[in-house]
Amino acid sequence: MTGHPVDGDLWAGMDTTDEPQPAEPVWEEPIPLSGRRELPAFPAHVFPAWLGSYVKAVAEETQTPIDLAGSIALSVLAAAAGGRSVVHVRGSWREPTNLYVVCALPPANRKSAVFALLTDPLYEAEKKLQVTMAPAIVEAAMTARLAKEAADNAAAKAVKADGGKREELIAEAIGLAQTAESVAVPVEPLLLADDSTSETVTSLIAEQGGRLAVMSAEGGIFDIIAGRYSGAPNMEVFLKGHAGDRLRVNRQTRREYIDHPALTIGLAVQPDVLRDIAKVKGFDGRGLLARFLYSMPRSLVGEREVITAPIPEETAAAYASNVLSLTLWLAEWTDPAVIQLSPEADAALIIYQQRVEPQLAARGGALGHIANWAGKLAGAVARMAALLHLAEHLEGGHTKPVAEATMRAAITLGEYFTAHALGVFDVMGADPTVGRARSVLETLRAGGWEDVSRRDLFTKLSRSEFPNIADLEPTTALLEEHGYLRSYQPQRTGARGRPPALRYRLHPSLRKDEG
């Protein structure tokens, strides 16, 4: 085979069977390629004390992974702050404070109960906003009604008039009609929506001044976005609602623009939902999957305590009061509150960015296969830092810069979500290295070798999967990590020439079918 670089060509015709071979290793059973990664637990300690204590208490009483309550709590903060605050990172870089968060757990994990415990204060805040706004809505509606009646009466008089009086009455009717048209009736405040159609979400964002939260203990929103009920995918509002890009709303009577829409999504779904959405055309290509922070904790079903400690009353009261206070304070803002970073916080974020960037490389980068997701990681960390800052300073957070400790707490959250994103995208089949590793395993089993050079292995593989020998390295590294092989460099037998090709000692299980 020609045209493909291989190592050790000068040694191809030499007999190396007398070379010293490594001692037969003691092999443990390999870890299956489909085996689940060990994922870290949610770092609830990074939350302010009032929030961390409540998250831990909810997890204890409900006997659910702390990841579930922690992920929803982060969504609650984003629902309270989204559309009403932004974080100024540096230069012209600003991030809105809304988030898309999804936690995947199998059935019987009490997702609905945890959701209710965490989101109840948002519904309470919504009711208070509605009560506060009710008199203004009634007054504006009555004013609009009277103005329209006056315009209609003036128009009727103008129709019946004749002569010089007619032009005067027409001018009066036009003025009254313009006045009636200018009377804006406020809509009833709404913070939360369940699984709604894309069109409904778009209309609600427009009505609510550019902000909305979709919170659900089910994954039906993905079916709606995919067009399972409408017949065609419609993800525009979900793409632009995360980034804050201008959104156009087409109404029957007029066309409106939302300059900076802020949509928050907080979901708890079954793991199968994540597998299914990976197959939906356009979800990955247009970047929808890259906008979510993923959590995929281990289920505790079968290990749960029957008698558990209830949530302390003071802990629950502090949580409800603080979420309510934060939500109501930020609801008053029309122009968003701008959260600034301290120089120390910015320096910590820069170091984190410098650490992540090389991992995005398509070849050899640990995050290369999920670069679309990881490329948004620094922005997500900045958003979470602002949310933690606001939770620490429930009123007047915009008057203080984000501290370095808060940024480091957000970076810890970023590292947590990165580990879980790798696990989730494994489930979605996003890593091509896994598929290539299976091809290599088939070749190794077919070869029946105990020991093989990288060059000899390469010659047996498909060039469509491995165009160059360098393309083999990530795959063999994964197989070595899983215990299927061990690489070693044979000793040089002469003083001149190229060193021998890298070789692999293979796990005995790969030769079980031999003979």
Question: Cα separation of 205 and 207, whole Å?
Answer: 5
Beta bridge partners of 193: 214
Buried b (16+ CB within 10 A) or exposed e, 74-99: bbbbbbbbbbbbbbbbeeeebbbbbb
The secondary structure of 442-489 as a DSSP string is HHHHHHT-SEEEHHHHHHTS-TTT-SSGGGGHHHHHHHHHTTSEEEE-
Can you tell me the distance from the alpha carbon of 475 to that of 459, in angstroms, rounded to the nearest whole number?
15
Q: How many residues does the chain have?
A: 515
Token pair recorded at residue 35: 């085996």
Residue appearing with tokens 């979800």: 283
Helix or strand run (H / E) with residue 85: strand 85-90
Alpha-carbon distance 467 to 250, whole Å? 50
Contact 357, 110 (CB under 8 A): no
Across the chain, which has 515 residues, the per-10-residue mean pLDDT values are 40 43 66 72 98 98 98 98 96 97 94 96 96 88 87 84 80 85 85 83 89 88 74 81 86 72 94 81 79 95 95 98 97 93 98 96 83 96 98 94 98 97 81 78 89 91 86 86 87 72 89 54
Predicted pLDDT at 165: 81
Interhelix angle 66-81/49-62, nearest 10 degrees: 140
Residue 184 is predicted with a pLDDT of 80
Residue 365 DSSP symbol: -
DSSP 286: T
Round to whole Å and give the CA distance between 282 and 284.
6
Write the CB contacts of 398 (distance below 8 Å, at least 6 apart in sequence). 85, 337, 338, 339, 340
Which whole-number Å values give the CA distances from 475 to 107, 282, 407, 501, in the listed order? Answer: 34, 28, 35, 17
Residue that the structure tokens 């009710």 belong to: 134
**Torsion of the alpha carbons at 239, 242, 245 and 247, rounded to the nearest 10:** 60
**Run of H or E residues at 264:** strand 262-269
Q: Spell out the SS3 assignment of 140-203.
A: HHHHHHHHHHHHHHHHHHHHHCCCHHHHHHHHHHHHHHHHHHHCCCCCCCCCEECCCCHHHHHH
pLDDT at 106: 93
- Of 313, 299, 291, 444, nearest to 380 by C-alpha is 291
CB-based contact 215:115 (threshold 8 Å): yes
CA 360 vs CA 99, 230, 376, 434: distances in Å = 22, 36, 11, 18
DSSP 5-62: --S-GGGTTS--TTSPPPPPP-PPPPPPTTPPP--PPP-GGGS-HHHHHHHHHHHHHH
pLDDT at 278: 76
* Dihedral sign computed on CA atoms, order 381, 384, 424, 273: negative
**Residues 141, 200 contacting (CB under 8 angstroms):** no
Which residues contact residue 493 at a Cβ distance below 8 angstroms, ignoring those fewer than 6 apart?
A: 16, 19, 500
Q: CA 266, CA 286: separation in Å to the nearest integer?
A: 20
Residue 405 tokens, joined: 């400790």
Tokens for 477?
Answer: 């590294």
pLDDT value at residue 377: 97
CA separation for the pair 413, 109 (Å, rounded): 23
Residue 368 has a CB neighbour count (10 Å cut-off) of 18
| pTM of the model as a whole | 0.77
**Where do the H-state alpha helices sit in 188-301?**
198-207, 220-226, 236-243, 271-277
Structural contact between residues 239 and 200, judged by C-beta atoms closer than 8 angstroms? no
Does residue 73 contact residue 91 with C-beta atoms inside 8 Å? no
What's the angle, vertex CA 215, arms to CA 211 and CA 221, rounded to 5?
Answer: 100
